Amino acid sequence: MAVSNESSRTVVDAGQSATLAGAAREVRQSSRWTWLRSRNLIIGASILAILVSAAIFAPWLTPYEPQAQVPEEALQSPSLDHPFGTDNFGRDMFTRVLYGARIDLRVGVIAVLSPFVIGVLIGCIAGYFGGWADTLAMRAVDIVQAFPFLVLVIFIVSVLGPGLRNMYIAVALVAWIVYARLIRSSILAERNKEYVVAAQAIGGNDLRIITQHVFPNVITPCIVFAMTDIALYIGLAAGLSYLGLGERPPAPEWGAMISSGQPFMTTAWWISAIPGAAIVVTGIAFSLLGDGIGDALRPGSRA
Cα 108-111-117 angle, rounded to 5 deg: 125
Beta-ladder partners of 108: none
DSSP string, 253-300: -HHHHHHHHGGGTTT-THHHHHHHHHHHHHHHHHHHHHHHHHHHHSGG
Tell me the C-alpha to C-alpha distance, in Å, between residue 287 and each of 181, 231, 236, 284.
Answer: 21, 7, 15, 5
CA–CA separation, 254 vs 247, rounded Å? 9
Domain 39-302 has what CATH class? Answer: mainly alpha
pTM above 0.75? yes
Residues 172-199: b if buried by 16+ CB within 10 A, e if exposed: bbbbbbbbbbbbbebbbebbeeeebeeb
Q: What is the DSSP letter of 77?
A: P
CA–CA separation, 123 vs 183, rounded Å? 5
Return per-residue pLDDT of the chain as tens, 303 residues: 444 454 444 443 444 444 434 433 443 444 454 555 678 888 989 999 999 999 999 999 999 999 889 899 899 999 999 999 999 999 999 999 999 999 899 888 888 999 999 999 999 999 888 889 889 998 998 888 888 888 899 899 889 888 888 888 998 899 999 999 999 988 888 888 888 888 888 877 888 888 888 888 888 888 888 888 888 888 888 888 878 788 777 888 888 888 888 889 888 999 999 999 999 999 899 888 888 887 776 655 444
Three-class SS state of 79: coil
CA–CA separation, 76 vs 162, rounded Å? 31
